[in-house]
Amino acid sequence: MQKKGTILSGMRPTGALHLGNYLGALENWIRLQDDYNCFFFIADYHALTTGYEDTGELKNNITDLLAGWLAAGLDPNKSTFFIQSDIKEHAELHLLFSMIVPLSWLYRCPTYKDQLSQMKDKNITTYGFLGYPCLQAADILMYKADFVPVGEDQLPHVELTREIARRFNFLYGCELFPEPQSLLTKAKVLPGTDGRKMSKSYNNTIAFSDNPETVNKKIMSMITDPARIHKTDPGHPEVCTVYAYHKIFSENEVPEIEHQCRNGEIGCVACKKKLAANVAKVMTPIYERRQEWVNRLDDIRDIINEGNKKARSVAQKTMAEVREAMKVGW
Ligand code: TRP
Ligand code: SF4
């Protein structure tokens, strides 16, 4: 089948995948793999830009991420998976881009300022951290990706990638790099089980590795509308985290749940049970498939070796063109 273009996206191996990652990115990636030539990679160099001090968990996190991708439904027969640091061409292209990228382009990236102020506990005033959007541009342009599925926070990086592509083509009088477009993931933002943003650091996630009982427990202990003490108390679904989840997991039942809550016709326990059943429909199969994959590490290794091989051959071809255009090497 003729595919509609090349897609590339990556994830940092920073720890257990959770429902937020599934709804925010993976579900979308899985849908795209039939229609596009997809490259999905583990951005382990990117993890180093903020986590260079303690790398002890890096390898485990990579395996964990791969098992999660496969469990969620990414398919090695449709897409190419690879590990960024296994394709050394990424480092080379990053270096060459670093020669042509003005510092001002990097300083003005909103993620640079945001993260500097958020990660006060880490020293990220490093060369690598400032340059990480340039590394991201190398990831994308290496495969001449047409589309890059990303969340909103990453849009400036795709824009920067387009600028780097233009600058490179202009400086070396070529048309080597196409300008990629962002594919903004339709934001299905799910709060954590405590109502704050879902994040590992808040300990409020529903992880792929949580067994069905744990998931059930987490849902049953979610905070609801504090105004509801008795079943007959009228509720305010808009302040309730359980309701926010229903909007994503119980689409057809939402009007009914809203009505029953507002009129005190359903108790919160019953309401949560309904939700738990719907969440289980999505998460139990992922959990079960993940358990299988974590026992098949040799197969995961084969999948990555295969993906790395494909990615490397594209990367080598691009780098030959880049070196030729820039006249580097002898
Ligand atoms: N920077 C992205 C993140 O932190 C991960 C990433 C690295 C990426 N390279 C990429 C995403 C290329 C899309 C395309 O989440
Ligand atoms: Fe939330 Fe449901 Fe309770 Fe209403 S009935 S407050 S939506 S848990």
Q: Look-up: residue for tokens 């084969």?
A: 302
Going from the Cα of 205 to the center of ligand 2, the distance in angstroms, rounded, reads 20
Q: Distance from the CA of 245 to the center of ligand 2, in angstroms? A: 11
What pLDDT score was predicted for residue 123?
81
Distance 282 CA to ligand 2 centre (A): 21
Contact 231, 284 (CB under 8 A): no
Please name which ligand lies nearest the alpha carbon of 182: 1
Q: Which of 262, 266, 269, 274 gets mutated to test ligand 2 (max ligand atoms within 8 A of its CB)?
A: 266
Radius of gyration, CA atoms only, the chain: 22
CA distance 245 to 190: 7
- 136 C-beta closer than 6 A to ligand 1: yes
Torsion angle of C-alpha atoms 85, 91, 97, 99, degrees rounded to 10: 150
Q: Would you tell me the crossing angle of helices 268-294 and 254-262 to the nearest 10 degrees?
A: 140
Predicted confidence at residue 41, as pLDDT, reads 98
Centre of ligand 1 from the C-alpha of residue 292, in Å: 28
Indicate whether residue 51 lines ligand 1 (CB < 6 A). no
pTM confidence score: 0.92
C-beta atoms surrounding 252 within 10 Å: 6
pLDDT in tens, 129-150: 999 999 999 999 999 999 999 9
pLDDT value of residue 120: 76
Spatial strand order of the sheet with 37-42 comes to 80-83, 37-42, 6-11, 147-150, 181-184
- Report the CATH superfamily, name and number, of domain 6-190+297-326: HUPs (3.40.50.620)
Reduce the DSSP state of residue 267 to 3 states and report it: coil
CA 58 to CA 84: how far, in whole Å?
13
Tell me the ligand closest to 65's alpha carbon: 1
| Other beta carbons less than 10 A from residue 155's beta carbon | 15
Ligand 1 lined by 139 (C-beta under 6 Å): yes
Query: Residues near ligand 2 with C-beta < 6 Å?
Result: 224-225, 228, 235, 237, 240, 242-243, 261, 266, 268, 271-272
Query: Measured in angstroms, how far is the CA atom of residue 22 from the centroid of ligand 2?
Result: 24
- In the chain, which stretches have pLDDT less than 70? 1, 187
Query: pLDDT for 164-217, tens place per residue?
Result: 999 999 999 999 999 999 998 776 778 999 999 888 888 999 999 999 999 999
- The reply to whether ligand 1 has any atom less than 6 angstroms from the CB of 150 is yes
d(CA 105, CA 115): 16
265 by DSSP, 3-state: which? coil
CA 158 to ligand 1 centroid distance, Å: 9
Q: What is the pLDDT of residue 244?
A: 93
Q: Yes or no: is domain 210-291 CATH 1.10.240.10? A: yes
Q: Which two three-digit tokens encode residue 219?
A: 């849902």
**Domain spans in the chain, listed from the N-terminal domain onward:** 6-190+297-326, 210-291
DSSP secondary structure letter of residue 172: T
| Closest to 65 measured CA to CA, from 200, 192, 217 | 200
Q: Considering every ligand atom shown, identify the ligand nearest to the alpha carbon of residue 50 and give its number.
A: 1
Cβ of 23 less than 6 Å from ligand 1: no
Determine contact, residues 105/36, Cβ cutoff 8 Å: no
As a 3-state breakdown, the chain gives helix, strand, coil percent values, each rounded to 5, of 60, 10, 35
Mapped onto helix, strand or coil, the DSSP state of residue 155 is helix
Closest protein CA for atom 13 of ligand 1? 9
> Which atom of ligand 2 lies nearest, measured to the CA of 228?
6
